[in-house]
Amino acid sequence: MMPSPTIKKPFDITAIREQFPVLSREVKGRSLVYFDNAATSQKPQQVIDALVNYYTTYNANIHRGIHTLAEEATAAFEETRDAVQEFIHASAREEIIFTRGTTESINLVAYTWGRQNIKSGDEIIISTMEHHSNIVPWQILCEEKGAILRVIPINDKGELLMDEYSKLLNSRTKLVSIVHASNALGTINPVRQIIEEAHSAGAVVLVDGAQSTVHLDIDVQEMDCDFFAFSAHKLYGPTGTGILYGKKRLLESMPVFLGGGEMIREVTFAKTTYNDLPYKFEAGTPNIADVIAFKTALQFIEDTGKEKIRKHEHELLEYATKQLEEIPGLRIIGSAREKVSVISFIVDNTHPQDIGILLDNRGIAVRTGHHCAEPLMQRFGIPGTIRASFAVYNTKDEVDELAIGLHKAIKMLS
């Protein structure tokens, strides 16, 4: 996907913010400060327009129709597949499977590749900082097959203990499923090294890219992961749409996931044969509108420039870290050397939820709780954190608002 030459311009935060209509709304009588981007990002007008345009002008089911609307919808849907392929540098468009999101992508692998390849006594390695969606599918599989789940420990900064990882790998390790960037800590994991070591041990690797894909350059070929999962809604795209990337050779060898229309070649009551990739894994009518609009979200990122976005978000992270470190009684959870723009913290003698409510009263949206990473919270001995996560449209003024809000909240609660 080439950046649009007409839109390519210097990083202009005002122009960027103007593209996101929700940012001009008020919450509790104050300008919205949206710092819950790790949960889901806001959507630019062009993504909303792409959804409306589909429903207004060419709504039709895809792949099966020969009429004009069906052909237009099919072409737009398949264009997103090409855009995703380019965005993550996959070697073939057949390697891009549309799902409902990261969760479904991981489950797809667990229910197909997992059921085919994991036997009693086999081992699956995950890490302490996994989201529940990269824990529970493997627990279900391990229970069913009598396999064993191994967990890479972390240090107090929230970094993987790579020596411990190396020790966990052995000839029984069949899969390593690892988060690229932690949603709760911000830690960026050394996936290249993890994959290399796993491959040397003969294991397959799935990378959970739910948080990394919006912040980092993703090149699945260079990374050499076997599977890569992410969700459109965290990349300024619509909800209900996600991607599973898999190496073609693996996808081809895997049994089908859901059965139904579209994933078949021929059905008789005696026997069904299955469709080619990627349709083999896309049973039923997909989320057509949202997949189509996702292309516009990717285009927004390309046009803004990933490098510029990363620089801006990194500056916000550094600025916020400094501001928050100065607040008495506040402790940042997660201080890894390499982080995406996520900052998690707790405040002495206060519950994260109380702080979250008081911030919301000032129009500041943060997330509080365990962030679907309960084992990670247990590792730190805390019930949860307050999490501020930054996106392309956030500003230092908003970080100042957060700092002021925190000072006031802490004063009220003490």
Residue numbers annotated as active site? 372
Smallest separation (angstroms) from ligand PLP to the CB of 8: 30
**Pairwise CA distance, residues 388 & 366, whole Å:** 5
User: Of 159, 197, 208, 398, which lies in the binding site for ligand PLP, with binding defined by CB under 6 A?
Assistant: 208
Out of 102, 173, 304, 344, point to the residue binding ligand PLP (CB under 6 A): 102
Whole-angstrom distance, CA of residue 50 vs CA of residue 266: 34
101 contributes a contact to ligand PLP by CB under 6 A = yes
210 binds ligand PLP (CB under 6 A): yes
- Point out which span in 52-60, 101-109, 146-154, 187-195 binds ligand PLP (CB under 6 A): 101-109
103 binds ligand PLP (CB under 6 A): yes
Rounded-to-integer distance, Cα 414 and Cα 406, Å: 12
DSSP 199-265: HHTT-EEEEE-TTTTTTS---HHHHT-SEEEEEGGGTTS-TT-EEEEE-HHHHHHSPPSS-SSSSEE
Compute CA 217 distance to the chain's CA centroid, rounded to the nearest angstrom.
Answer: 13
Distance between alpha carbon 386 and the CA centroid of its chain, in Å? 19
What is the number of helices (H) and of strands (E) in the chain?
15, 17
Q: Mention every residue, 6+ apart, whose C-beta is less than 8 A from residue 362.
A: 28, 30, 33, 401, 405, 408
Q: Is the peptide bond before 286 cis (omega within 30 degrees of 0)?
A: no
Site for ligand PLP in 166-205 (CB under 6 A): 179, 183
User: Please, which residue, 358 or 377, has the CB nearer to ligand PLP?
Assistant: 377
Sketch the per residue contact string, 310 through 349, with ligand PLP: x for CB under 6 A, - otherwise. Answer: ----------------------------------------
Shortest Å, Cβ 208 to ligand PLP: 5
Binders of ligand PLP in range 129-148 (CB under 6 A) = 131, 133-134
Stretch in the footprint of ligand PLP (CB under 6 A) among 51-59, 80-88, 99-107, 385-393: 99-107
- Residue ranges binding ligand PLP (CB under 6 A): 101-103, 131, 133-134, 179, 183, 208, 210-211, 231
